[in-house]
Amino acid sequence: MGAVVLAVGGLTVGATAAAAEAADDGPVRVATVDEMIDRLRDDPILVQPSMGMGDSALAHDVLTEAASGAELPVYVVLAQMPEELADGERPGEQVAVLLRDELGDGVYHVEFLGESSYTGVWGAPDEYDFRDAYIALRNAEENGPGEYPRASALFEAAVVAHAAASPGQELPQSVVDDYASRPWAFIPESTTSMADAKATRWVATLATVIGVLIAGIIVTLGVVRAKPLKTKAGVPARRSAHETVPEQMADRARKRLASARRRFEALPGTELTADPGEKAARAIDAAERVLDTGDELDAVGAYVLALIADREVDRVKRPERPAFRPCFINPLHGESHDTVRVGGSSIDAPVCSTCGRQQGAFLSVRKGIRGWAPYVETDTVWAWTGYGALVGDLADQVLADRGVRR
Amino acid sequence: MKRLIIGLIVTLVCAGIGGAAAWWVASSGLPAEVDTTTERARLAADGLSESHVYVDPSVEGMFSDEQIARIDEAANTSDPEVFVVVWPESRQAGYGPSSDVLRQIGRLLDRPGVYVQVSPGDALDSVDVGIDGEYFSIYESPAEEWSSSRETTLLLDKIAENDGREYELGEDTGSDYWGGTAGTIGAGALIGSFGGGLVGTIALVGWFIMRRRRAGV
């Protein structure tokens, strides 16, 4: 009978249906191949303590159960290599052949301590294919515990034995998962000693506490002791790159608007319908819409609209007065009396006298970590109207803008 | 003054929170407290109950009876005592490094001393069990060609070296890696000082830069 050996790269498992009564009281002692053969005649599963993942009796039971129901006898040897094979090559294969000669056809899985495993099938080799078993084993390793999970010889033998017991059938994933969850499935990795791990915990805690304390003290002292920013003596102070919206801007706008409204309401009824009167009414209406939004630029806008309304009330009786146009650079500078070519622009923008002599910094708002941004770079009605510096119908544009947006 | 007090309070709070977080994170990395005993450890402990040398049946004959007797006597008379296990090293026996199984044997025997593993072809290894003593290492690289006479001589030399070293009964809870309690505190303080100094300086410089940028200076 042509013996066909099915060599599976790596390790293998065998199982026998004739589940002989497991071992004696103590661990299995076999020093030679002959002793191994004698032992396997009584019990097809042979596991020594050095290969039993902590409990060779348990390993024996696991393998016996895995191989139960097999048509061909399944033999598994997980043992130390007999000294007589020490100088030979592929001792697992050698022993499998010797075992088959003595014990007959069957599935033989042999792995010696420190050596590669070998699985051979004699009797019906075409029906046996352990590739799926090894693929399942590799997948289990990939999902195994630890940094470099490596399946134990016992885990491998159990998977192969199970596959040998049901040739031609797909190995159930639940079986592999069950094996993988056992404490003997993977080779334990080197672990940090408990004393070292506890000391490391103290080091991490101490380092963090001390580090945060030192960093915090450095920052706190640095911030507290930092002097206000100044220019060097004798050097003209550079103008600030931005001007901020003053605090309580909304209150200022509210007072100014109340004043404008009182003057507007004091106008005779016939004058309310005049063009300046209507403009004043729209400016007051627009100011009221943006006054309490909580936005800094809106508060400035309400203030400017109040000034516009105030001027329009004036213009009811003195129509020769020009409409109010604020300084384009910063409407809080007041009315524009001059013009200046703002960098990057092709038109002259109306500005206050001061900015006409030397352009000041734009009214700006905070933009998160990017710092200050000029109001003309914001996406607001104030940016494209210049708070009325660039258009003559600020109130209408604000009412249209807020009518659309809200 | 107000800013200083606020800054210090914030620093203290952050340090407390950071310390608690570090403790919590480091605790998750602690190895599991395992008191499992593997079959090999039980067999060795049984063998060592009446002797100071246990030779696994698979390596019987590696040492002569005369060599075993000499090692046994030296191990018995050594102070602290030495317990020698002779067997092939295995990664398939349910434990990790050899120190794990030696500790298991020590726990089973409940006899304080130095537990030594001798594996033909591999380096000697040892671990103190139940004693807290001055540093002792039995490690020696294995010879290219193993011989029982060389191994016996080496083992006897190491046992003699161990004999008379200072020790106290009780488990050593200090960390060899960090150098004991003083080393642990020193390492924490050193790492914290350097790290905190660096981070604090970078944060302060960043603050100054942002301040100037925002101020437009």
Let me know if residue A143 belongs to a domain: yes
**Has residue A208 been placed in a domain?**
no
Q: What is the pLDDT of residue A233?
A: 45
Q: Is residue B136 part of a domain?
A: yes
Do A365 and A271 lie in one domain? The reply is yes
Is the pLDDT reported for residue B24 higher than 50?
yes
Q: For residues B135 and B182, state if they share a domain.
A: no
Say what the ipTM of the complex is.
0.75
Mean pLDDT of B11-20: 94
* pLDDT tops 80 at residue A385: yes
Residue A19 within a domain? no
Nearest CA distance, B142 vs chain A (angstrom): 17
CATH number for B62? 3.10.310
Same domain, yes or no, for A41 and A133? yes
- Contacts by residues A94-102 (CB-CB < 8 Å, ≥ 24 positions apart): A95/A33, A95/A36, A96/A5, A96/A120, A97/A3, A97/A5, A98/A33, A98/A37, A99/A36, A99/A37, A99/A40, A99/A75, A100/A3, A102/A37
pLDDT confidence tier of residue A243, bands split at 50, 70 and 90: confident
Shared domain check, B132 and B83: yes
Distance CA B16, CA A212 (A): 9
Residue B56 sits in the same domain as residue B96? yes
- In the predicted structure, residue A343 carries a pLDDT above the cut 70: no
Look up residue A203 and give its two tokens: 């080091």
* Chain A interface includes B2 (CB < 8 A): no
What is the rounded distance in angstroms from the CA atom of residue B164 to the CA atom of residue B81? 10
Q: Are residues B189 and B130 in the same domain?
A: no
Domain tally, chain A: 2
Asked if the structure places residue B3 within a domain, the reply is no
* Residue range(s) defining the domain that contains residue A158: 33-180
Q: Is residue B68 part of a domain?
A: yes
Q: Cα-atom radius of gyration of chain B, to the nearest Å?
A: 26
Among residues B127, B149, B130, B122, which one has the least CA distance to residue B138?
B127
Q: Cα–Cα–Cα angle for A295, A298, A302, nearest 5°?
A: 140
Task: Look at residues A154, A180, A206 and tell me which one is the last residue of a structural domain.
Answer: A180
- Do A279 and A355 share a domain, yes or no? yes
- The SS3 call for residue A163 is helix
Q: Calculate mean pLDDT across residues A108-132.
A: 89
Same domain, A247 and A175: no
Instruction: Pick A203's closest partner by Cβ from B15, B176, B191.
Output: B191
CA distance A44 to B117: 32
CA nearest to A287, candidates A324, A236, A233: A324
Residues B189 and B156 in one domain: no
* Domain contains A78: yes
A149/B contact by beta carbon, under 8 A: no
**Which domain does B214 fall in, by range?**
178-217
**pLDDT tens string A126-165:** 778 888 899 999 999 999 888 889 999 999 999 999 999 9
Say whether both A172 and A81 belong to one domain. Answer: yes
Dump pLDDT digits (tens) for B148-198: 899 999 999 999 999 998 888 887 777 778 878 888 999 999 999 999 999
Question: B-contacting residues of A 181-210, CB under 8 Å?
Answer: 183-184, 187-210
Structural domain contains residue A13: no
pLDDT at A235: 44
How many structural domains comprise chain B?
2
CB–CB of A223/B205 below 8 Å?
Answer: no
CA atoms within 13 A on the CB side of A335: 10
For residue A111, the domain's CATH number is 3.10.310
What is residue A348's predicted lDDT score, i.e. its pLDDT? 83
In a shared domain, residues B123 and B194 = no
Shared-domain flag, residues B143 and B72:
yes
Is A162 part of a structural domain of the chain?
A: yes
Flag if A208 and B21 touch (Cβ within 8 Å). Answer: yes
Q: Please tell me the least confidently modeled range out of A26-40, A176-190, A279-293.
A: A26-40
Helices B148-162 and B65-77, packing angle to 10 deg = 10
Confidence band, pLDDT 50/70/90 cuts, at residue A20: very low
C-alpha to C-alpha distance for A74 and A63, rounded to whole angstroms:
10
CA distance to partner chain A, nearest, from residue B12 (Å): 7
Whole-model pTM?
0.60
Q: For residue A73, give the DSSP letter.
A: -
Q: Residues of A with CB below 8 A from B188's CB?
A: 202-207, 210
Helices (H), A124-234: 131-142, 153-165, 173-180, 194-225
